[in-house]
Amino acid sequence: MRRTTSRLLRGLALVSALALGATACGSSDDDSSEQKQVSAADIQAALKKGGTVNVWAWEPTLKTVAADFQKKYPKVKINLVSERSGDKHYTALSNAISAGKGVPDVAQVEYFALGQYSLTKGLSDLAPYGAEKLASKYTPGPWNAVSDGDKVYGLPMDSGPMAMFYNKKVFDKYKVAVPTTWDEYLEAARKLHKADPKVYIANDEGDAGFTTSMLWQAGSRPYKVDGTKVSINFDDAGAKKFEAVWQKMIDEKLVAPITGWTDDWYKGLGDGSLATLTTGAWMPANFTTGVPNASGDWRAAPMPAWTKGDKASAENGGSSLTLPTLGKNKELAYAFVEYANSGDGVATRVSEGAFPATKAELESPAFQSKKFEYFGGQEANKIFAESAANVASDWSYLPFQPYANSIFNDTVGKAYVSNTKLADGLKAWQDASIKYGKEQGFTVE
Amino acid sequence: MTTSSVATPAPAKSAPRLRTPRKYSPGRPKRSKLLTALMALMVLYTVVPLIWLLINSTKTQAGLADSNGLWFANDFAFWDNIRDTFTYHDGIFGRWLLNTLLYVVLGAGGATLLAVLGGYALAKFSFPGKRAIFAVVIGAVAVPGTALAVPTFLMFSKMGLTDTPWAVIIPSLVSPFGLYLMWVFAAEAIPTELLEAARMDGAGEVRTFFQVSLPLLAPGIVTVLLFTTVATWNNYFLPLIMLKDPDWYPLTLGLSSWSSQAQTIGGDVIFNLVITGSLLTIVPLIAVFLLLQKYWQSGLAAGSVKE
């Protein structure tokens, strides 16, 4: 076991330059201080004493939260550094951990990337600080993402229960019914594209996050993770459901060849050439600032189901705040994370447009009855909250998901540009992920 | 075309006779339609992005998505965009502008100073190892700065200088191309006889340099200053890996971080400010170019004609 772990760590170090620092200092930390319980009184004492907490996070609402926190605890300084871009953020974090220098005290880590850091002991276990008592506060999806049994690697900051956003104006114009199942979705895609060849029901050029979320909803569980034992298998009933529908979407050229998050994409969402967007419930904020010209055109709806009446949903996106093992001022850092993601900070962040991961906020009448001017006055949060409650909690990502996602376009992505079938693409993704996992010292089946 | 027809109202018969000497007249080079067309294409290629930038800086975020890229939208938000660019995020754009100026003044200014001193010394003094230095400088010109960025980062990281302005300024001080240019220029522009005369008259080396050589070097200095200024102003990769704190970003990095905000969940999408910011970023550079142009041109022509 010990041998496997060290081989695993060495392997990961080669690629992400991540593990060296973490093992050198992380393991000793783990044994001595990590087991120690930190009481609320310890945290209060630290807050009174004061100090600086370095936070690496791009979540925009944290700015207000940090200011409020400093007002409440004048001796604490929150030094918020935002990188504002996922890839660069993880590269910088991994580099800092491997160098053992300049590691932030608090780091924002998305759910899909948590495994990479927690497995190499790059993140502190928050359970001794009392984090495990917060479990019941959060919806199952996000909580499952940050904890494995008795260890807690971060507190959920936001969540992304999936919903389908659709351009009502376009659907009304061509008198197409809003789809409630994926079969109806396919049908609607055909009708819309036939009515106006410029209109596509969605854009897709092969997106790892979207695909895994679709598999999640369809009941597919390709990844099983138990410590360093991993299995990867895309050959199950859920994956077949997804392949059957989406292969037709690709074959009949019903998805627009536009990459998400580009200005073309924003343009398409604005001018009606992209009729739906199935993504996380955090999207309204991006709609409001990125596509202001289509205000009033769009509505939210539940994600289409695989069988009529089925309510299963999935998550897309969402991130947590974590305490890197090599960070300092642990008590203060934890106090800030708890304030931002479980305490008073949550209300502030929700009021600024963040999508919560906490049950109380999701279920509160004020949140649910919020009228979205952008969606023509619709109370869209009701749909999102219901989706959050229907997310299956048994999904897990790979401990090297960021790497797996990075090779998605070389494998599954081929189905979008050549005659490769989606099923073959997933098989190729599976093989490449298994190969990589073995090279990193995981036991892969 | 018009001038020739006005100047030669002669019948068509004599035209070939007139055209033949023109071919060889250095004062009136022959025009080639093909080259003119190619030139027009190049002008289009270089000017269209600028026009695009100008037009689109007048649009709001909504207007950007709604309208054709090469024509105006219904809204004219140019002044609003400029104001928003400077006030967004507590006016961090102004801070980035000042950072860039700091990097240019210290980095490009320092690089020019070092190049002038070094180039002059290499051109006008002989000392052992000169050939080796020549080889090193020529070799250094060939190594792209991007290739050195990562080793430089590791070195600066060890010295604890990353995430400070020094991490951007110190590497900018080295300009092998500037040194080479100054060297060649100094060799051509300062007659050795003049230096000998100055020494004969009893001037020390320092006085000779400042009072005799420096004025002669002015066009070359301006040329090198232009090159290093442009390089430092546009520098992206070095600050990207060196800096983490947005308070020390130069404009290039800051604008890129604004642009990537559009790819962030819950992030503000501000393509209109990115475009306006880009326009504002190139204005000082254009101004510097126009101001220094005459020096620069005389610098380029130096030594091309034997007088």
Same domain, A310 and A355: no
* Percent of chain A scoring above 70 in pLDDT: 91
- List the single best residue of A65, A85, A159, A262 to mutate versus B (max B Cβ within 10 A): A85
**Chain A neighbors of B270, CB-CB under 8 A:** 289
Q: What is the pLDDT of residues A158-182, one digit of tens each?
A: 999 999 999 999 999 999 999 999 9
Residue A197 has pLDDT above 90, yes or no: yes
Q: Which two tokens stand for residue A312?
A: 């299963």
A195 reaches B (C-beta below 8 A): no
Q: Which two tokens stand for residue B211?
A: 């009072």
B221 reaches A (C-beta below 8 A): no
CB-based contacts of B300: which residues, under 8 Å, 6+ apart? B223
B67 reaches A (C-beta below 8 A): no
What element of type H or E holds A299?
strand A298-301
CB-based contacts of B270: which residues, under 8 Å, 6+ apart? A289, B61, B88, B258, B261, B262
How would residue A10 be classed by pLDDT, with cut points 50, 70 and 90?
very low
**pLDDT computed for residue A140 by the predictor:** 85
Q: What number is the average pLDDT over the span B252-279?
A: 88
Q: What is the pLDDT of residues B235-254, one digit of tens each?
A: 998 898 888 888 899 999 99
B305 reaches A (C-beta below 8 A): no
Q: Please, are residues A268 and A258 in contact by the beta-carbon 8 Å criterion?
A: yes
Q: Please, are residues A152 and A127 in contact by the beta-carbon 8 Å criterion?
A: yes
Closest to B65 (Cβ–Cβ): which among A81, A160, A271? Answer: A271
Distance from CA of A438 to the nearest CA of B (A): 29
Interface contact A317-B62, CB threshold 8 A: no
Interface contact A291-B65, CB threshold 8 A: yes
More confident residue, B29 or B172: B172
The dihedral formed by the CA atoms of A340, A343, A347 and A353, expressed in degrees to the nearest 10: 30
Residue A345 has pLDDT above 70, yes or no: yes
How would residue B72 be classed by pLDDT, with cut points 50, 70 and 90?
confident
A85 reaches B (C-beta below 8 A): yes
- d(CA B98, CA B92) in angstroms, rounded, equals 10
DSSP letter assigned to residue A369:
T
**pLDDT computed for residue A228 by the predictor:** 86
Distance from CA of A265 to the nearest CA of B (A): 10
Interface contact B157-A271, CB threshold 8 A: no
The beta strands (E) that lie in A57-161 are given as 76-81, 106-110, 147-148, 151-152, 155-156
Distance from CA of A128 to the nearest CA of B (A): 31
Q: Strand pairing of A298-301 and A76-81?
A: unpaired
Q: Mapping DSSP to helix (H, G, I), strand (E, B) and coil, where does residue A413 land?
A: coil
Confirm whether A1 is domain-assigned: no
**pLDDT computed for residue A84 by the predictor:** 55
- d(CA B96, CA A58) in angstroms, rounded, equals 19
- d(CA B150, CA A91) in angstroms, rounded, equals 13
Same domain, A359 and A425: no
A60 reaches B (C-beta below 8 A): yes
Q: How far is CA A37 from CA A42, B121, B142, B202, in A?
A: 10, 68, 59, 81
DSSP state letters, A172-239:
HHTT-PPPSBHHHHHHHHHHHHHH-TT-BSEE-S--HHHHHHHHHHHT---EEEETTEEEE---SHHH
Q: Strand pairing of A155-156 and A319-322?
A: antiparallel
**Chain B neighbors of A270, CB-CB under 8 A:** 62, 65-66
Q: Which residues of B5-29 are buried (b: 16+ CB within 10 A; e: fewer)?
A: eeeeeeeeeeeeeeeeeeeeeeeee
Q: What is the pLDDT of residues B86-96, one digit of tens each?
A: 999 889 999 99
**pLDDT computed for residue A91 by the predictor:** 80
**pLDDT computed for residue B25 by the predictor:** 59
**pLDDT computed for residue A18 by the predictor:** 35
Residue A58 has pLDDT above 50, yes or no: yes
Confirm whether A388 is domain-assigned: no
Mean pLDDT of chain A: 88
**Residue A321, Cβ neighbours under 10 Å: how many?**
27
Confirm whether A387 is domain-assigned: no
Q: What is the pLDDT of residues A63-100, one digit of tens each?
A: 899 999 999 999 999 998 876 555 678 888 888 888 78
- d(CA B161, CA B159) in angstroms, rounded, equals 5
Confirm whether A189 is domain-assigned: yes
Residue A6 has pLDDT above 50, yes or no: no
DSSP letter assigned to residue B93:
H
Same domain, A55 and A143: yes
- List the single best residue of A54, A80, A82, A350 to mutate versus B (max B Cβ within 10 A): A82
Q: How far is CA A277 from CA A52, A141, A165, A203, A298, in A?
A: 41, 21, 5, 8, 10
Same domain, A307 and A292: yes
How would residue A118 be classed by pLDDT, with cut points 50, 70 and 90?
confident
Same domain, A212 and A292: yes
Confirm whether A92 is domain-assigned: yes
Q: Which domains does chain B have, with CATH numbers?
A: 33-75 (no CATH), 94-303 (1.10.3720.10)
Q: What number is the average pLDDT over the span A430-443?
A: 94
What is the number of CB-based contacts under 8 A between chain A and chain B? Answer: 81
How would residue A344 be classed by pLDDT, with cut points 50, 70 and 90?
very high
Q: Give which of A215, A181, A20 is closest to A99, Cα–Cα.
A: A20
CATH classification at residue A421: 3.40.190.10
Distance from CA of B201 to the nearest CA of A (A): 59
Q: What number is the average pLDDT over the span B254-259?
A: 90
Same domain, A132 and A89: yes
Q: Which two tokens stand for residue A3?
A: 């041998």
**Chain A neighbors of B264, CB-CB under 8 A:** 58, 60, 84-86
Q: Which two tokens stand for residue A144?
A: 């499952």
- List the single best residue of A263, A277, A282 to mutate versus B (max B Cβ within 10 A): A263
- d(CA A436, CA A11) in angstroms, rounded, equals 10
**Chain B neighbors of A101, CB-CB under 8 A:** 157
Question: Roughly how many angstroms between the first and final C-alpha of chain B, as a whole number?
Answer: 34
B245 reaches A (C-beta below 8 A): yes
Q: Which two tokens stand for residue A412?
A: 């599954």
**pLDDT computed for residue B4 by the predictor:** 43
Q: Give which of A261, A248, A245 is closest to A307, Cα–Cα.
A: A245
How would residue A412 be classed by pLDDT, with cut points 50, 70 and 90?
very high
Helices first, then strands: H and E counts in chain B: 16, 0
Q: Please, are residues A332 and A76 in contact by the beta-carbon 8 Å criterion?
A: yes
Distance of CA B286 to the CA centre of its chain: 9
- Counted residue by residue, chain B has a size of 307
Closest to B266 (Cβ–Cβ): which among A60, A86, A266? Answer: A60
Q: Please, are residues A236 and A221 in contact by the beta-carbon 8 Å criterion?
A: yes
Residue type, A126: L
Closest to A290 (Cβ–Cβ): which among B66, B163, B269? Answer: B269
Same domain, A283 and A417: yes
Distance from CA of A2 to the nearest CA of B (A): 32
CA angle B72, A285, A279 (to 5 degrees): 105
**Chain A neighbors of B59, CB-CB under 8 A:** none
**Residue showing tokens 């142009």:** B293
Q: Please, are residues A383 and A302 in contact by the beta-carbon 8 Å criterion?
A: yes
* Percent of chain A scoring above 90 in pLDDT: 70
Report the range out of A81-95, A97-111, A231-245, B201-215 with the highest average pLDDT.
A231-245
Same domain, A48 and A154: yes
- A121 in the Ramachandran plot: left (φ > 0), alpha (ψ -120 to 50) or beta? left
**pLDDT computed for residue A390 by the predictor:** 93
Residue type, B109: G
Closest to A261 (Cβ–Cβ): which among B64, B162, B263? Answer: B263
Q: Strand pairing of A155-156 and A162-167?
A: unpaired
- List the single best residue of A63, A65, A84, A207 to mutate versus B (max B Cβ within 10 A): A84
Give a three-class secondary structure readout of A25-61: HHHHHHHHHHCCCCCHHHHHHHHHHCEEEEEECCCCC
**pLDDT computed for residue B183 by the predictor:** 93
More confident residue, B296 or B258: B258
Q: Which of A27-31, A234-238, B90-94 has the lowest mean pLDDT?
A: A27-31
Q: Please, are residues A226 and A443 in contact by the beta-carbon 8 Å criterion?
A: no
Q: What number is the average pLDDT over the span A323-342?
A: 95
Interface contact B163-A102, CB threshold 8 A: yes
Same domain, A216 and A304: yes
Closest to A286 (Cβ–Cβ): which among B65, B246, B266? Answer: B266
Q: Which two tokens stand for residue A70?
A: 């400093």
More confident residue, A84 or B229: B229
- d(CA B257, CA A156) in angstroms, rounded, equals 25
Q: Which two tokens stand for residue B112?
A: 């020019």
**pLDDT computed for residue B144 by the predictor:** 81
More confident residue, A102 or B179: B179
Q: Number of structural domains, chain A? A: 2
Same domain, A265 and A332: no
Structural domain boundaries, residue A62:
10-159+317-363
Q: How far is CA B22 from CA B5, B6, B10, B116, in A?
A: 14, 16, 16, 43
**pLDDT computed for residue B299 by the predictor:** 57
Q: Mapping DSSP to helix (H, G, I), strand (E, B) and coil, where does residue A304 land?
A: coil
Same domain, A268 and A403: yes
Confirm whether A25 is domain-assigned: yes
**Chain A neighbors of B265, CB-CB under 8 A:** 158, 160, 280, 282, 285-286, 317, 319
The pTM of the full predicted model, rounded to 2 decimals, is: 0.81
Q: What number is the average pLDDT over the span B104-118?
A: 95
DSSP letter assigned to residue A303:
P
Same domain, A70 and A42: yes
Q: Give which of B203, B202, B219 is closest to B211, Cα–Cα.
A: B203
Distance from CA of A247 to the nearest CA of B (A): 27
Instruction: Give contacts of A 298-337 with B, CB under 8 A.
Output: 317, 319
CA angle A55, A59, A62 (to 5 degrees): 65
Confirm whether A376 is domain-assigned: no
- d(CA A6, CA A218) in angstroms, rounded, equals 36
Q: What is the pLDDT of residues A199-220, one digit of tens each?
A: 999 999 999 999 999 999 999 9
Closest to A92 (Cβ–Cβ): which among B66, B244, B246? Answer: B244
Confirm whether A382 is domain-assigned: no
Residue type, A225: V
φ, ψ dihedrals at A151, nearest 5°:
-105, 145
A232 reaches B (C-beta below 8 A): no
